[in-house]
Structure 1
Amino acid sequence: MRWQTLILLCLLPVLSAMADEAAWDLWREGKAVLIMRHALAPGTGDPANFQLADCSTQRNLNERGRQQSHAWGTLLQQQYAGEIALYSSQWCRCLETARLMNIAAVQPLPALNSFFAGRGSRKQQTEALLQQFAADQPMPTVLVSHQVNFTALTGYFPASGEAAILALPLTAPATVLARIEP
């Protein structure tokens, strides 16, 4: 019995890599979406004087966050060389994450905005995402959002810059096909 356990432990990384590759295939085919929490922007929430149109009143990416964003762009371009749909929260740290990936024109999507500390509606925004992504997409799709939105869909707390590939149609809780570390 011990040798069987050892063989299984040796196979787990191979099986995990195969599952991840299948998730990437579904994403490339438009049968899944990739959601990511914005790259590293130290702190929690936003200052009391927060204004959506003024980045100086928001928590923003640091140098490590900008590096994470560039790395995500490289990874996504390695995964798919064609056209990608790129949606982002309207918060500056999300928009900057998306822009620095340099993979597509960024489309602001209010349903991806944070609802932390009562700034939005978890129920309404999550429902809007479920409706918008209720079917396969015509191309690979990336969503850049916040921890609270990510957790509302997946049920787990992602690190800054972490992503997940979610099966379509999008459900709550979502079917997580793969988790991708920053």
Structure 2
Amino acid sequence: MSLSRFQLCQFLLLLCATSILPAAHADEAATWAALDSGNQVVLIRHASTEPGVGDPAGFTLDDCTSQRKLSAEGRAQAQRLGEQFRQRRIPVGQVWSSSWCRCTDTATLAFGQVKTMAMLDSSFDDSAAAVRQKRLAVAAAVRAKPAGVNLVMVTHQVNITELTGVVPRMGEVVVVSSTPKPDGTFAVVGRLQIP
């Protein structure tokens, strides 16, 4: 029996899906297990926003109406994230956030608490020196965190990429080691995308 090209493509896609999904599930389970044990650093890119890149011209940090905001789906996504942590009884210590409203809203909707930290503010328009300074400030703060609980930081894609090399999707969780490397970057423990 010979297969048509279409049938062969379907078969190959099915084969890939069945070999990738169990590995992805195992990685997700290992990441949740690491969080359950505590002492991890949880980097979260803010939840889904209204369409656009960056913020409108003339935005200010003290006026949320001037910034790109979470979409209705993003608000629901942040709530689902918090619910996953509560259902799994993940120990959460402090919750830090960028000053941008889409980040503070994500943190508040997910965890009910937030402390803004300038070191997590978007580094999109920063100089290389300012980016480095923020990276080293995050590393120093992580070194000083209390042991035993997870530290949550809600920030932006550019900041997470600078810290880990990962380019996360909106709402994605990137779990990293609580021991920064000498250059202030972090080893990735695992990644989670909340459905």
What is the TM-score when the length of structure 2 is the normalising length?
A: 0.78
Question: What per-residue deviation string (whole Å, max 9, x for no partner) do you get for residues 91-143 of structure 1?
Answer: 10000011111x24211111111011238921111111111112663422211
Identity across matched positions, percent: 32
How far 1:153 moved relative to its partner? 1.1
Judge conservation of contact 2:45–2:160 (CA < 8 Å) in 1.
yes
Question: In the aligned structure 2, how far is the partner of 1:127 from the partner of 1:84?
Answer: 21
1:174 aligns with 2:183: no
Question: What per-residue deviation string (whole Å, max 9, x for no partner) do you get for residues 11-53 of structure 1?
Answer: 7655554443333333333331111100011311112212111
Question: In the aligned structure 2, how far is the partner of 1:123 from the partner of 1:30?
Answer: 27
How many residue pairs match? The answer is 175
Cα–Cα, structure 1 residues 99 and 45, in superposed 2: closer, same or farther, change >3 Å?
same
Q: Secondary structure at 1:158's aligned position in 2?
A: coil
1:155 aligns with 2:165: yes
- Residue 9 of structure 2: aligned partner: none
Judge conservation of contact 1:45–1:117 (CA < 8 Å) in 2.
no
Q: Secondary structure at 2:143's aligned position in 1?
A: coil
Deviating more after overlay: 169-178 vs 156-165: 169-178
How far 1:161 moved relative to its partner? 0.6
Unaligned runs of 5+ in 1: 1-8
Largest Rg, 1 or 2? 2
Question: What per-residue deviation string (whole Å, max 9, x for no partner) do you get for residues 31-85 of structure 1?
Answer: 3111110001131111221211111111110101101111101111122265532
Residue of 6, 12, 31 corresponding to 2:39: 31
Question: In the aligned structure 2, how far is the partner of 1:88 from the partner of 1:61?
Answer: 15
The code of the aligned residue for 1:164 comes to V
Q: Map 1:39-54 to 2 at 5 A.
A: 39-41=47-49, 42-54=51-63
Question: In the aligned structure 1, how far is the partner of 2:157 from the partner of 2:180?
Answer: 17
The code of the aligned residue for 2:131 comes to R
Unaligned runs of 5+ in 2: 1-16
1:131 aligns with 2:125: no
What is the TM-score when the length of structure 1 is the normalising length?
A: 0.83
The CA RMSD measured in Å over matched residues stands at: 2.6
The code of the aligned residue for 1:33 comes to V
